[in-house]
Amino acid sequence: MIKILNKIIEVIIAILIVLMVLGNFWQIFTRFVLGNAADWTEEFLRYSLIWLTMLGVPYAYGKNQHIAIEFITDKFSARGKLIDGIFIQVLILLISVFVMICGGVMVTKNAVGQVSAALGMPMQFYYLGVPVCGVLMIVYTLPKLIGDIKALAETKKEGK
């Protein structure tokens, strides 16, 4: 399932990047060649970047391509690294549930009836990226957490 989810996110991210490049090109073309900048491109690029980030963060985390400062944890034992990983993953789950999902849903609900200025799209669509990111973070974190808990249990059995 994770492989399919990765592929879907990869395609969406690639489409967003292509659309952003085209939108940026159109903004430059209309501003400097036509002398009258398109009014929708800046807003489109801003909200595309938000969605790109909200999809890219869980994707990078799921593929272990996120930024990590490991100079301290490199000194931990294998068991210590597992405990640290479990602690971090529990924190990620808590933040994902309470801040991103619960908070994101509240913000999305508050945006009902608001419309973006240039594109005329409902603002809920833009804010929906936050709870979507939270759900994806949970989907990517739970297997890691379960794996680390099982590995920690194995180290206890082995007496390490």
Higher pLDDT, 67 or 153: 153
Task: Please name the amino acid found at residue 20.
Answer: M
Q: Confidence band (pLDDT; 50, 70, 90) for 159? A: low
Which tens digits make up the pLDDT trace of 6-65? 999 999 999 999 999 999 999 999 999 999 999 999 999 999 999 999 999 999 999 988
The residue with tokens 């206890």 is 156
For the whole model, what pTM was predicted? 0.90
Q: Confidence band (pLDDT; 50, 70, 90) for 72? A: confident
Residue 96, number of CB atoms within 10 A of its CB? 23
Helix/strand/coil (H, E, C) string of the chain? CHHHHHHHHHHHHHHHHHHHHHHHHHHHHHHHHCCCCCCCHHHHHHHHHHHHHHHHHHHHHHCCCCCCCCCCHHHCCHHHHHHHHHHHHHHHHHHHHHHHHHHHHHHHHHCCCCECCCCCCEHHHHHCHHHHHHHHHHHHHHHHHHHHHHHHHHHHHHCC
